[in-house]
Amino acid sequence: MAGVPDLSAAAGAVQVARAVIDQAARRLSAGGPGAVDDNQAVAYDLAHAAAAVEAARQMLDYGTRGGEEAALAAAFTADAVWDLSARLLGREACWGVPADAVEPARPFLVAHRDPAWLSSLAGVTGPRHLDADFEMVAETFRRFAEDRIAPAAERIHRDNTDIPEEIISGLGRLGAFGLSIPEEYGGFASGGERDYLGMVVATEELSRASLAAGGSLVTRPEILARALLRGGSEEQKRRWLPGLATGEIMAAVAVTEPDFGSDVAGITTSAARSGGGWLLRGTKTWSTFAARADLLMVLARTDPDRRKGHRGLSLFVVPKDRAEGRGFVLTQPRGGRLEGRPIDTIGYRGMHSYELSFDGWWVPEDHLVGGEGGVGRGFYYQMDSFANGRLQTAARAVGVMQAAYDLAASYAAERVVFGRPVGDYQLTRVKLTRMAAAVQATRQHAYAVARLMARGEGSLEASMIKTYACRAAEWVTREAMQIHGGMGYAEESPVSRLFVDARVLSIFEGADETLALKVVARRLAEQAGAGVLRPASGAP
């Protein structure tokens, strides 16, 4: 490995990038409430650049821990600032910054985008720097993933089968579903950042074996559990949380609608009072794991006045019988009908997504989250739970990326082309270095966001890390497939599964464009308008 880089130069480059981002955010803010929508191309690029630079800022602290860490921090920072430069070039006036805004960072980029330097780092991945307890958590879930999930992953993907019950029950025995549920409700959460970090670590390890049959299994009950903890009554928490914690009860989320994807405030599925409960009518789509689930978390309109938007929505816990992945039709003695139509997808198989049709499906009164106090509060309860889901999605992305990197590095060392291993060529070595830096940066950023969320903060940061991590996963898995050549395109190669699985990450838990524009860019502009400065770079 080349000599340890000067991290003060990396910190300086981050400061240059942050100044550009802050100036562009102020320009958006000056344009008024509609500026983000009026300047979507710039706002979208701003959000992605800001997310990458925030990850680089977190890597500066990681870089102080050793030589390998410093090298990866410098390599990632150079990529993040270069990405900002590429998005900025030719649009400086639109961003409201001078043409030479990034020029002070050029010497750093010259040194740390140098192919020879990057090539010298091939194979460097860096330690995670977890303490002994979390290393034990990682090892426990990694062993289960390798022994129980990985052997089934390819069959689940190729045949689009249901996730085996032994995987679900095994994860239940490990406590995977109770990581974020407090001990008083049968889970393992004791309060504080260790709960969030444990969830991130476990999710990464499970996702390395399979995004669908591993990491995402933990996310479904997590979202409902968070909503119940946020808005549920004490009786509701004690009724459902213990079963969610053990895996005895599995949950699915039914929020999105065919005509209202990320525009949740516009949903039309209704809930009307009837016979001591509520009748649900309407259609939901992209409800993942809905057939196997015992409970559905359904967001419905309880106030027929659509002008009230999200203030007219309430959240329901909807019980249902278990079904198989080929679709289902359920009926109630009262005449209610619930039909689930499976939606075939190119990846993320095993979880199965559904279009759900509720036709007079009756739900008891006490299944309204929060009771009477929860009427009109459903949007807020589900948004709180989705913020945690975005952090968890970033952890899933890290697991997929790490699996892809491992496969690519192994194949590059073994595959001989033109008389030399693929891994001996400079281009491959540069790719592997950049991939490793992206994986570690996303991982370290996830740890940092977990600590923020444990303090009741980090909503914007959770959106930012999802914005970066999901696109990074697409790139890393793409490069891993390319390193494999033709074999990477073959279904018999696990890297092809990782590639198509990674593609869904930018779509669920908040579509990339919506998250970038409606959350990240808008919040950056609001903060700039209020004169709120985000933390400065932690320069060594």
DSSP secondary structure string for all residues of 355-409 = EEEEEEEEEEGGGBTTGGGGTT-HHHHHHHHHHHHHHHHHHHHHHHHHHHHHHHH
Residues 6+ apart with CB under 8 A from 182: 189, 190, 191, 229, 241
Task: Please determine, for residue 10, whether its predicted confidence score (pLDDT) is greater than 90.
Answer: yes
Residue 524 has pLDDT above 60, yes or no: yes
Nearest to 282 by CA among 297, 298, 296, 293: 298
Q: What is the mean pLDDT of the chain?
A: 92
How many angstroms separate the CA atoms of 136 and 171, rounded?
16
Cα distance between the two ends of the chain: 21
55, 447 contact by CB (below 8 A): no
Residue pair 389/180 in contact (Cβ under 8 Å)? The answer is no
pLDDT, mean of residues 51-55: 97
- What is the reported pLDDT for 526? 92
| 257: DSSP letter | B
pLDDT tens digits, 13-35? 999 999 999 999 999 999 988 99
Query: For residues 37 and 44, what is the distance between their CA atoms, to the nearest angstrom?
Result: 10
Tokens 């914690």 belong to residue: 245
Question: Residue 338's beta-bridge partner residues?
Answer: 330, 358
Largest CA distance in the chain: 77
Cα 300–Cα 303–Cα 308 angle in degrees, nearest 5: 100
Between strands 251-254 and 295-301, the pairing is parallel
Q: Which of 69-83, 250-264, 364-378, 520-534 has the highest mean pLDDT?
A: 69-83
Q: Which among 78, 61, 167 has a CA at the least distance from the CA of 121?
A: 78
Which amino acid, one-letter code, is at 236?
A: Q
Confidence of residue 308 (pLDDT cuts 50, 70, 90): confident
> For 283-290, what is the mean pLDDT?
93
Tokens representing 79 are: 């990529």
Instruction: Set out the domains of the chain in order of their start, with CATH numbers.
Output: 1-121+510-540 (1.20.140), 132-250 (1.10.540.10), 252-370 (2.40.110.10)
Q: How far apart are CA 499 and CA 68, in angstroms?
A: 28
Residue 412 structure tokens:
């590059």
pTM attached to this predicted model: 0.93
pLDDT value, residue 538: 46
pLDDT over threshold 50, residue 286: yes
Look at residue 537 in the predicted model and tell me its pLDDT.
43
Asked if the model's pLDDT at residue 72 lies above 80, the reply is yes
Q: Rounded CA gap, 228 and 246, in Å?
A: 16
| Cβ–Cβ under 8 Å, residues 473 and 118 | no
What is the spatial distance between Cα 200 and Cα 215, in angstroms, rounded to a whole number? 10
Closest C-alpha to 267, from 375, 384, 379, 169: 379
**pLDDT band at residue 456 using 50, 70 and 90 as cut-offs:** confident
- Residues 257, 355, 461, 509: which is the catalytic one? 509
pLDDT reported for residue 307: 72
Q: What is the pLDDT of residues 85-119, one digit of tens each?
A: 999 999 999 999 999 999 999 999 999 999 999 99
Stretch 328-346: mean pLDDT: 94
Band (531; pLDDT cuts 50, 70, 90): confident
Q: Does 235 participate in catalysis according to the annotation? A: no
pLDDT of residue 265: 66
The CA distance from 416 to 411, in Å, is 9
Rounded-to-integer distance, Cα 509 and Cα 390, Å: 6
Helix (H, G, I), strand (E, B) or coil at 534: coil
User: 384: how many CB neighbours lie within 10 A of its CB?
Assistant: 17
